[in-house]
Amino acid sequence: MIVISGFSGAGKGTLMKRLLSDYDEFALSVSMTSRQMREGEVDGREYFFVSKEEFETAIKEGKLLEHAEYCGNYYGTPKEYVEKKLKEGKNVILEIEVQGAMQIRKKFPEALLLYVTPPSIAELERRLKARGTETDEVIKRRLTQARTEVDYVDDYDYLVINDNLDECVKEMYGIICASSFEIKRQNALIKDLQEELSKLKF
């Protein structure tokens, strides 16, 4: 299970699309939300859209791996889809906010947590403005959010700089491969070696 978070404007969406198209072994988790569906969105593609009541029932019934409230709406990760894809041998990517990421960290200590940032905040601001679709008010809100989020970055495993897209995709893939050799993911092998050694008769 791979969690990807990052400042709004860091380019997570594009990165994720490239990871999924360049490599075969990934599946993207689709979140559930209680917010209104927007024009152009498709239920089950951008999100699974449900009512506030349905979302609260899902929480109560333990059907979510993590959830958070944001601007008065619920967002969460349905357990069933993730478990299905993991069983199929896929690495499941969760693109979620820091609150949700911390819940995943607690429940699944072996999950890999990546944070994506532009090379600097000046560059983040430039990218948000370059979109041309965001009001000054929205840009301000996103930067204020970044100021809160930055204190959680320490709790992630890796920090990736999205400067050049091609390089960043390769780096992320490299990190995902390398992370399987981290000591905390090698407990089974270490235990096997210890057992074999303890059985030697001298």
The CA distance from 127 to 171, in Å, is: 21
Give me the DSSP letters along 50-114: --HHHHHHHHHTT-EEEEEEETTEEEEEEHHHHHHHHHTTPEEEEE--HHHHHHHHHH-TT-EEE
CB 4 within 8 A of CB 114: yes
Structure letter (DSSP) for residue 43: B
Helix (H, G, I), strand (E, B) or coil at 11: coil
Is 196 a binder of a second copy (CB under 8 A)? yes
- Residue 46: CB minimum distance to a second copy, A: 29
Is 188 a binder of a second copy (CB under 8 A)? no
Is 163 a binder of a second copy (CB under 8 A)? no
Is 192 a binder of a second copy (CB under 8 A)? yes
Residues 115-144, mask of contacts with a second copy (x by CB under 8 A): --x--xxx-----------------x--xx
- Residue 119: CB minimum distance to a second copy, A: 8
Task: Return the number of the residue (131 or 147) whose C-beta is nearest a second copy.
Answer: 147
Q: How far apart are the first and last CA of the chain?
A: 42
Q: Footprint of a second copy on this chain (CB under 8 A)?
A: 117, 120-122, 140, 143-144, 146-147, 150-151, 153-154, 156-161, 171, 174-175, 177-179, 181-183, 186, 189-190, 192-194, 196-198, 200, 202
